[in-house]
Amino acid sequence: MDFKGRTALVTGGSRGLGRAVCLELARGGANVAFCYAGNEAAARETVRDVEALGAKALSLRCDVSDAAQVDALVKAAVEAFGRIDILVNNAGITRDNLLMRMSEADFDAVISANLKGAFLCMKAVSRHMLKQRYGRIVNLSSVVALRGNAGQVNYAASKAGIIGMTKSLAKELASRGVTVNAVAPGFIETDMTAALPEDARAAAQGSIPMGRLGAPEDVAKAVGFLASDEAAYITGQVLAVDGGMSM
């Protein structure tokens, strides 16, 4: 994909899927701004890897559930690179538990980070994209939004909400050259899935028709396609990258 002259903003870009997305866009020539929650060492590593690909990088610490911090993040990215062409909402957390044991605080934390955070970022960035009459927004949902998962009522709700927001915003922005799509990863080899008990990992792998967990690069390439000019006539869609798990 050719992203020369483009600027991307990726939330949660220091590790896992976010880092893979940053690198995929940088390979295509995009300058990459990304935010991270707290792991400064990981953020520095992502900056180094992006710059090694010949792209410019900017990392900023940001709580995406805080509107003032999101506005400051977007302002810094525009000041550094002049524009934002691509937004990838990847930042997210989990607070898993069965519903009867789930605290209100854990429910609120996941909805705030995963759903409200995506809302705030889209609201802040869409202003710039509307003025440009160009933009690509790609939101990271999840296979659990499509099929549910025991112990993840809060996470599934947040990721299903992202699909609803994606389709609604796609209708609002389509006439101005801005597309809004979602990618729904299945079980991917990341820090999040590495923390699963072995029996849970085995059960997950057994439910995947392709018989393996995905790699972050599998998701990043799908994001890259939806962020590209080749996907100019695709909007309001959800692309499952899950080895057939949601069939």
Q: Which domains does the chain have, with CATH numbers?
A: 7-241 (3.40.50.720)
- DSSP secondary-structure letter at 214? B
pLDDT of residue 199: 83
Mean pLDDT of 110-124: 98
Beta carbons within 10 angstroms of residue 138's beta carbon = 26
pLDDT of residue 132: 96
Q: Which residues are catalytic?
A: 155
pLDDT of residue 204: 81
pLDDT of residue 197: 79
CB 184 within 8 A of CB 240: yes
Mean pLDDT of 138-150: 96
Q: What is the pLDDT of residues 176-213, one digit of tens each?
A: 999 999 999 999 988 777 777 788 778 888 889 999 99
What does the mean pLDDT of the chain come to?
Answer: 96
Confidence of residue 233 (pLDDT cuts 50, 70, 90): very high
How far is it, in rounded angstroms, from Cα 204 to Cα 114?
22
Confidence of residue 11 (pLDDT cuts 50, 70, 90): very high
Q: What is the pLDDT of residues 18-74, one digit of tens each?
A: 999 999 999 999 999 999 998 999 999 999 999 999 999 999 999 999 999 999 999
How far is it, in rounded angstroms, from Cα 222 to Cα 206?
23
Q: What is the pLDDT of residues 99-109, one digit of tens each?
A: 999 999 999 99
Confidence of residue 145 (pLDDT cuts 50, 70, 90): very high
User: Is 7's pLDDT higher than 80?
Assistant: yes
User: Is 78's pLDDT higher than 90?
Assistant: yes
Tokens describing residue 107: 């429910």
Confidence of residue 96 (pLDDT cuts 50, 70, 90): very high
